[in-house]
Amino acid sequence: MKKLLLLVFIILLSCQSDKKEKTNLKIQSVPQQILPPQPYFVDIKVNDVKLGKPAYGDWLFSHKEKGQSFEQFVRTKHVVPTKEENIIYLQPIGKFNLMQIKQIELVRQYLQIFFQLETKVLGSVSNDIIPNHARRMGDVGQEQFLAGCILTDVLKEENPSKRIALMAITEKDLYPKPEWNYVFGLASYRDKIAVSSMYRMQKEADFNLGLERLLKICSHEIGHMFGLYHCIEASCVMNGTNSMIETDSHSIRLCSLCQRKLNSGFNYDNVKRLKELKEYFKENNLDEGLMLMEKDFKSIKE
């Protein structure tokens, strides 16, 4: 495995973005003048919840991150959709039960709304694709897959039509290297590929909590692929996190600053996106997300 090309993302342990981009990637051009934020972002800023002082064990307690201003974002090379690259793909790996299949489809629907980009689920592939040397038994008898192998041997050569991001989802537990007990996922932001595991997301969780965790993980990691750094401004889905408890406490919503960054290269209709997110959370009985979207909707001046 080429370690420099792979960055361990641990939505719950250590999630970082690969700030180096291949020279052939489509990148956002640097604007000559940075305009003031659109009224939409000014209106919803009132609903941003400022982060409190980090406590021992929190991500920001042990990671002294400087954050990323809007100006820094637009002046940093990052991937944006083009006519040639504008589809997000999910690649299921393994044997999924009916609940997991439903959650994967709901993740697809969510990402399509969240990023306002077409999102597709590729046909599931068997766990047999993972070679024996990349398998082991975990500390409680669960089978684990070597996450890097999925990136280098399964995903890296996959290039479905108009792919801008590709994320594998497995129901098996993952580990990044022999001395680690487990990892929630691994990503190569340079290659715009990642793998995440459902295994620990669903432990001691009902359907909705497991789904909410998956929505946070997938939107967070793909957000990194589009140039968003960890957010230190407000409770935001782009916050770094050290634990499942911390992940659950973070908002599923992008703060106003991160929304402005994402929209700068995508140029989607903010109100349309907000309405679709509101409807999604309502239809799937995700009360916290629905409440947050309703607050934003009441704040905007159409």
- Cβ atoms of 239 and 51 closer than 8 Å: yes
User: Cα 209 to chain center, whole Å?
Assistant: 16
SS3 278: helix
Supply the DSSP string of 196-254, one letter for each residue.
EESTTTSTT--HHHHHHHHHHHHHHHHHHHTT-----SSS-TT---SSHHHHHHS-SSP
Q: For residue 102, what is the DSSP state?
A: H
The answer to whether 195 touches 168, Cβ cutoff 8 Å, is yes
Question: Which tokens belong to 294?
Answer: 């309703």
Place of tokens 């790996």: 93
Token pair, residue 202, equals 């669903």
Identified catalytic residue from 212, 221, 233, 276: 221
Residue 102 token pair: 């439903």
Is 21 labeled as catalytic in the residue annotation? no
Residue type at 51 in one-letter notation: L
What 8-state DSSP symbol labels residue 129? G
Bridge partners of 168?
91, 195
103: left (phi over 0), alpha (psi -120 to 50) or beta: alpha
Query: Rounded to the nearest 5°, which phi and psi values hold at 192?
Result: 60, 45
Rg (CA), the chain: 18
User: Could you count the other beta carbons within 10 Å of the beta carbon of residue 43?
Assistant: 18
Number of H helices, E strands in the chain: 10, 9
Catalytic residues: 221
